[in-house]
Amino acid sequence: MNLGNLFRKFKLEKVSLNLKAVQLEVSFQEADRDAAWDLYVEMLTRIVTQPLPPESGDEQAALESVYSLAPATREILRHHGRASIQFSKVAVPVLNQIIRPFTAKWHRESLAGAFDQEEKRMQFREELGSLQVELGNYNRMLAEIAGVEDLTDLEGTTGV
């Protein structure tokens, strides 16, 4: 399967790849599957795939949980090394093009006191909901790469 088709299969069309990368054939090896499993578990147990009901939770803690995917992904990439290069072709664009813009925007907003304002808290939760849909799709992709049963929707928490 080529990289472009893989992203389309899991509805991750927001990820922009250059023409050469879109056409790259990917074949996942054991190290790729292990790395995908590690990140899958990280995401499965975080707010990125779990609901944040309006009556509970904390926006700052949710933002920090989303942000923590960046160092977790980097650590997984370092741990599995060059043998997981195919996984890197999936993880790096998602980190840079989906997760980073969200965290960059909301980090700045939080420093400006956004979470003290009801309207901004609601906006954050709405944008987090959209991010959760995208990252739920990404988590499904990780499950497929890892070769495991996907539990992303086990608790009925994210949409397709």
Radius of gyration of the chain (CA): 16
Q: Which residues of 80-108 are buried (b: 16+ CB within 10 A; e: fewer)?
A: beeebebbbbbbebbbeebbeebbeebee
In-domain check, residue 154: no
Q: Which tens digit of pLDDT belongs to each residue from 31-41?
A: 999 999 999 99
In-domain check, residue 98: yes
Number of folded domains in the chain? 1
Per DSSP, the residues of 8-74 read HHTT-TT----HHHHT-B----HHHHHHHHHHHHHHHTSTTTS---TTS--HHHHHHHHHTHHHHHH
What's the rounded Cα separation, in Å, for the pair 133 and 29?
27
In-domain check, residue 158: no
- In one-letter notation, the amino acid at residue 74 is R
Rounded (10°) angle between helices 85-94 and 69-80: 170
Output the pTM of the full model. Answer: 0.87
Domain that holds residue 123: 29-146
- In one-letter notation, the amino acid at residue 37 is W
In-domain check, residue 155: no
- Nearest Cα to Cα of residue 6 among 100, 138, 98, 132: 138
In-domain check, residue 12: no
Q: Which tens digit of pLDDT belongs to each residue from 97-106?
A: 999 999 999 9
Q: Which tens digit of pLDDT belongs to each residue from 78-125?
A: 999 999 999 999 999 999 999 999 999 999 999 999 999 999 999 999
Q: Which tens digit of pLDDT belongs to each residue from 48-78?
A: 888 888 788 899 999 999 999 999 999 999 9
**How many other CB atoms are found less than 10 A from the CB of residue 43?**
22
Q: Percent of the chain having pLDDT more than 90?
A: 68
**How many other CB atoms are found less than 10 A from the CB of residue 114?**
19
In-domain check, residue 79: yes
In-domain check, residue 87: yes
What's the CA angle centered on 143, arms 1 and 100, to 5 degrees? 90
